[in-house]
Amino acid sequence: MKIAVVGCGAVGSYYGAMLCRDGHEVHFLLRSDYEVVRRNGVFVRSAAGDFNARPRCARLPEEIGVSDVVLIALKTTANDQLQKLLTPLVGRSTAVVTLQNGLGNEEQLARLFPADQILGGLCFVCLNRIEPGVVHHLDHGRIVLGEFQRWPEPRTHDIASAIRHAGVQCKVTDNLARAHWEKLVWNVPFNGLGVASAAGIDAVSGARCEVSGKHECLTTAQLLADSRWESLVRELMLEVISVARKLGHDIPDRLSDTQIERTRSMGDYKASTAVDFERGLPLELESLFVEPLRHAQQQGVATPRLKALCGVLSQLDPRTDLSQLNKG
Instruction: Report the catalytic residues.
Output: 183
Query: Which residues have C-beta within 8 Å of that of residue 273, sequence separation ≥ 6?
Result: 191, 192, 194, 195, 283, 284, 288
User: At how many degrees (to 10) do helices 227-246 and 304-316 cross?
Assistant: 110
Position 172, amino acid = V
Distance CA 265, CA 260 (A): 9
C-alpha closest to that of 289 among 229, 227, 243: 243
User: At how many degrees (to 10) do helices 227-246 and 176-196 cross?
Assistant: 150
Query: Which residues have C-beta within 8 Å of that of residue 94, sequence separation ≥ 6?
Result: 66, 67, 68, 69, 70, 117
Q: How far is CA 148 from the centre of its chain?
A: 17
Listed in sequence order, the DSSP H helices in the chain are 10-21, 34-40, 61-64, 82-86, 105-110, 154-165, 176-196, 201-205, 220-225, 227-246, 255-264, 272-278, 285, 291-299, 304-316
Distance CA 163, CA 94 (A): 16
Q: DSSP for 38-54?
A: HHH-EEEEETT--EEE-
